[in-house]
């Protein structure tokens, strides 16, 4: 199985390191030509969702990737990646809009925007969670289901082939969420 990591901007190298730890092959997606390779699943990293959204269009990646996600290719979005998959974005503009979640960007405000906690994740037990200028999910609808709630806010969700976290599992020691994704 070939895992592509969107590598336009942000924390793509950390996801690559995580997949290396799991012995899982991967490649970077930087330009349309990279989509000629077999692609079985996609990771969209954290970073700046506004910049990534613009680059996806400028580099002609948007339509092909959106079609693949809509067809059911497994996709894992962390932080900015979560924002890019959401149908509704408070404080931003939807991008792929394939997931029935409403998200709030930079939701914790400047002071509290970055923090660390340990909290429970559906089916995986207690996991480390690093939040960096994080969004949270205001609501899930349709086929989307919450997988983790921290301080009353939904911070992870899944809808069929789409998995999102508001935090950054690629920055912590636990490989559990990446393993969960690789089994989807």
The residue within the footprint of ligand GLN, chosen from 26, 41, 105, 178 (CB under 6 A), is 105
| Alpha-helix residue ranges (DSSP H) falling in the chain | 12-21, 49-58, 62-71, 80-85, 109-112, 176-182
* SS3 call for 40: coil
How far is residue 89's CA from residue 37's CA, in Å, rounded to a whole number?
31
Q: Of the listed pieces 16-24, 40-48, 121-129, 140-148, which binds ligand GLN according to CB under 6 A?
A: 40-48
170 is annotated as an active-site residue: yes
In the complex with ligand GLN, which residue's Cβ is closer, 4 or 47?
47
List the binding residues: 47-49, 105, 132-133
Answer for which of 14, 34, 48, 119 binds ligand GLN (CB under 6 A) is 48
Indicate the Cα dihedral angle 50, 156, 107, 84, nearest 10°.
10
The size of the interface with ligand GLN (CB under 6 A), counted in residues, is 11
Tell me, yes or no, if 79 is annotated catalytic.
Answer: yes
Counting contacts by CB under 6 A, is residue 49 touching ligand GLN?
Answer: yes
Distances (CA, A) of 57 to 77, 96, 167: 18, 11, 25
168 in catalytic set: yes
Residue among 5, 43, 79, 163 that touches ligand GLN (CB under 6 A):
79
From the candidates 79, 95, 178, 179, give the one annotated as an active-site residue.
79
Q: Which of 16, 12, 103, 3 is nearest to 55 (CA)?
A: 12
Catalytic residue numbers read 79, 168, 170
């Amino acid at each position: 199985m070939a895992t592509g990591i969107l590598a336009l901007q942000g924390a793509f190298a950390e996801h690559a390191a995580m997949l290396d730890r799991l012995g899982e092959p991967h490649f970077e997606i930087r330009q349309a030509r990279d989509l000629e390779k077999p692609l079985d699943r996609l990771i969209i990293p954290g970073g700046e969702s506004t910049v990534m959204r613009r680059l996806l269009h400028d580099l002609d990646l948007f339509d092909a990737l959106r079609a693949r996600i809509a067809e059911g290719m497994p996709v894992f979005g962390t932080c900015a990646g979560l924002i890019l998959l959401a149908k509704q974005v408070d404080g931003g503009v939807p991008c792929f809009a394939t997931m029935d979640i409403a998200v709030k960007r930079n939701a914790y405000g400047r002071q509290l925007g970055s923090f660390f906690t340990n909290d429970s994740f559906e089916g995986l037990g207690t996991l480390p969670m690093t939040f960096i200028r994080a969004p949270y999910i205001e609501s899930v609808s349709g086929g989307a289901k919450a997988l983790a709630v921290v301080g009353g806010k939904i911070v992870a969700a899944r809808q069929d082939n789409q998995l999102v976290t508001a935090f950054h599992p690629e920055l912590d020691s636990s490989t559990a969420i990446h393993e969960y994704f690789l089994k989807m």
